[in-house]
């Protein structure tokens, strides 16, 4: 059978170095991911030859990278790996377009990269309360943080409040060294890190000193009301039903709440607030639930495989448990 041949033309507006990577590192990554496809680059022409399915996938990768560079991005090696992982798994990687950019920091645009992420961002824009539920790496917290920072920069809100439940996993908080603030730092550090990825450290420090940005454990939210604020509750799978109700009823006027969580990574013993809230709030206008899945994972491609492996293991345990239950009580 004759091999499939596709020729792509690199637009004059695209920097070849940004597209192919330093010393053609992106090109080598793409070539090594497809054993039977050959890629030849001459000038502004990219020739792809090989089996039809692999040629289609390589063409998709280059098309997405060209679109990204045209939009002002400089793809990193990690982003190329993510794209390769998604394309080879049949996942549509949606780079979006200029209108999808939530904000830019140091010339790096933040935008939804999958169809699920786009639904999530649109839900945040359109609703007062949005729940983003899904596995690690789907951008739940990162995109919510980007939306919060963008809203603050546009003066749509006057402050950002970031909170997490403090759930002890193996160590007692009381026995950790340091002041209360130092003890709480490990719990809120992921939120702080995401914030620093979107704003200058000095600016963040100033905002925190002024109270424009506040990071606090969920336990400190009781009795407060948040108006004209963008509030993010992260790791909501570790809330109790009472904590979830307490948090949601903190909403004041002109505020937006985003709740993120991964039901598969619970440290909480007993009923969870994230488990019950969907049924309790079903049908209420202004509240939307967005479910993200492994197709929306935009971390290292290995993360998607790890999630798949744990899902398979859980399914196998469930099947074995069901089999034991069916045999229970039978005479042999």
Q: Residue 328: what pLDDT?
A: 56
Q: Residue 170: is its pLDDT beyond 50?
A: no
> Of 7-16, 62-71, 236-245, 323-332, which range is least confident?
323-332
Rounded to two decimals, what is the model's pTM? 0.73
**Nearby residues of 26 by Cβ (< 8 Å), 6 or more positions away:** 19, 20, 65, 75, 77, 80
Q: Is 261 helix (H, G, I), strand (E, B) or coil?
A: strand
Model confidence band, residue 133 (pLDDT cutoffs 50, 70, 90): very high
Q: Residue 109 and residue 149: Cα distance in Å, rounded?
A: 13
Q: Residue 60 and residue 63: Cα distance in Å, rounded?
A: 5
183 token code pair = 């003890």
Q: Residue 267: is its pLDDT beyond 90?
A: no
Q: What is the pLDDT of residues 62-117, one digit of tens each?
A: 998 998 888 778 888 878 887 887 787 665 555 544 447 788 776 677 888 888 99
Q: Is 56 helix (H, G, I), strand (E, B) or coil?
A: helix
> Of 61-65, 146-150, 311-315, which range is least confident?
311-315
Q: What is the pLDDT of residues 210-227, one digit of tens each?
A: 999 998 888 888 899 999
Q: Residue 101: what pLDDT?
A: 77
DSSP 173-201: GGGSSS-HHHHHHHHHHHHHHHHHTTS-H
Mean pLDDT over residues 158-170, rounded? 79
Instruction: Give residue 177's Cα distance to chain centre.
Output: 32
Backbone angles phi, psi at 36, to 5 degrees: -105, 5
Burial letters for 245-276: b for 16+ Cβ neighbours within 10 Å, e otherwise? ebbbebbeeebbbbbbbbeeebebeeebbbbe
The winner for highest mean pLDDT among 170-174, 290-294, 312-316 is 290-294
**Nearby residues of 190 by Cβ (< 8 Å), 6 or more positions away:** 141, 164, 234
Residue 5 carries which DSSP code? E
Model confidence band, residue 332 (pLDDT cutoffs 50, 70, 90): very low
Which residue segments constitute the domains of the chain, with CATH numbers given? 4-88 (3.30.1370.10), 107-299 (3.40.50.300)
Q: Residue 330 and residue 26: Cα distance in Å, rounded?
A: 60
Q: Residue 323: is its pLDDT beyond 80?
A: no
Q: Residue 304: is its pLDDT beyond 90?
A: no
The average confidence (pLDDT) of the chain is 84
Show the DSSP H helices in 197-240 as ranges.
201-210
Instruction: Give residue 305's Cα distance to chain centre.
Output: 16
Q: Residue 177: what pLDDT?
A: 60
Q: Residue 9: what pLDDT?
A: 93
Q: Is 294 left (phi over 0), alpha (psi -120 to 50) or beta?
A: alpha
Model confidence band, residue 178 (pLDDT cutoffs 50, 70, 90): low
Model confidence band, residue 264 (pLDDT cutoffs 50, 70, 90): confident
Q: Residue 271: what pLDDT?
A: 84
- According to DSSP, the β-strands at 213-217 and 256-261 are unpaired
Q: Residue 257: is its pLDDT beyond 80?
A: yes
Burial letters for 75-104: b for 16+ Cβ neighbours within 10 Å, e otherwise? beeebbbbbbbbbeeebebbbbeeebbbbe
Mean pLDDT over residues 121-135, rounded? 95
User: Contact at 8 Å (CB) between 184 and 191?
Assistant: no
Q: What is the pLDDT of residues 184-204, one digit of tens each?
A: 677 777 888 888 888 888 999
Q: Residue 14: is its pLDDT beyond 80?
A: yes
Mean pLDDT over residues 258-267, rounded? 90
Q: Residue 283: is its pLDDT beyond 80?
A: yes
Q: Which residue has the higher pLDDT, 100 or 152?
A: 152
Q: Residue 38: is its pLDDT beyond 90?
A: yes
> Of 73-77, 296-300, 308-312, which range is least confident?
296-300
Burial letters for 3-27: b for 16+ Cβ neighbours within 10 Å, e otherwise? ebebebebeeebeeebbbbeeeebb
């Amino acid at each position: 059978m004759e091999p499939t041949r596709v020729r792509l033309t690199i637009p004059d507006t695209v920097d070849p170095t940004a597209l192919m990577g330093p010393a053609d590192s992106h090109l080598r990554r793409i070539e090594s991911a497809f054993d039977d496809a050959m890629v030849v680059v001459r000038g502004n022409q990219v020739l792809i030859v090989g089996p039809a399915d692999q040629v289609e996938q390589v063409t998709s990768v280059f098309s997405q990278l060209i679109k990204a560079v045209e939009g002002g991005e400089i793809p990193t090696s990690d982003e190329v790996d993510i794209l390769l992982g998604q394309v080879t798994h049949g996942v549509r990687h949606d780079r979006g377009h200029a209108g999808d950019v939530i904000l830019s920091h140091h010339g790096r645009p933040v935008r939804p990269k999958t169809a699920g992420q786009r639904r999530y961002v649109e839900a945040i824009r359109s609703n007062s309360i949005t729940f983003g539920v899904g596995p690690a790496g789907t951008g739940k917290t990162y995109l919510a943080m980007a939306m919060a920072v963008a809203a603050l920069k546009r003066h749509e809100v006057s402050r950002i409040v970031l909170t997490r439940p403090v759930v002890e996993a193996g160590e007692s908080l009381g026995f950790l060294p340091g002041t209360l603030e130092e003890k709480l730092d490990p719990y809120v550090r992921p939120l702080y890190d995401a914030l620093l990825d979107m704003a200058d450290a000095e600016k963040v420090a100033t905002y925190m000193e002024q109270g424009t940005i506040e990071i606090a454990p969920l336990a400190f939210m009781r009795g407060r009301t948040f108006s004209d604020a963008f509030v993010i509750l992260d790791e909501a799978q570790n809330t109790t039903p009472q904590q979830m109700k307490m948090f949601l009823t903190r909403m004041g006027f002109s505020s937006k709440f985003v709740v993120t969580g991964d039901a598969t990574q619970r440290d909480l013993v007993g009923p969870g607030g994230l488990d019950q809230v969907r049924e309790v709030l079903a049908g209420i206008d202004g509240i939307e639930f967005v479910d993200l899945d492994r197709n929306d994972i935009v971390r290292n491609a290995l993360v998607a495989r790890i999630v798949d492996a744990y899902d398979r293991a859980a399914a196998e345990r469930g099947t074995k448990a069901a089999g034991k239950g069916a045999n229970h009580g039978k005479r042999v």
